[in-house]
Amino acid sequence: MPRQAPVAVGDTIVTGGRSFIFPQGIPIGKVDSFTLDQNESYYTLQVQLFNDMTNIGHVYLIEHEDKEELQALEDIND
């Protein structure tokens, strides 16, 4: 997490939608603790996940039908 972002214990972490893998707004977990090295520009977060990933029995796969078009548009903007 960039050091410019305000961070507090208990904050909820959600997906930001800046990836072609995860859509925006999926709750991931909450901030348990965080540290900031004075020589670094990022926080290191310890996040307590909302789901126990070692105990998942069923998952849903989401096909992103517009992935190629979105990737092409992003490449144009870079």
Mean pLDDT of 58-78: 79
Q: Is the pLDDT at 68 greater than 90, yes or no?
A: no
**Helix, strand, coil tally for the chain in percent (to 5):** 20, 30, 55
Summarised one tens digit per residue, pLDDT across range 38-66 is: 788 888 999 999 988 888 888 877 777 88
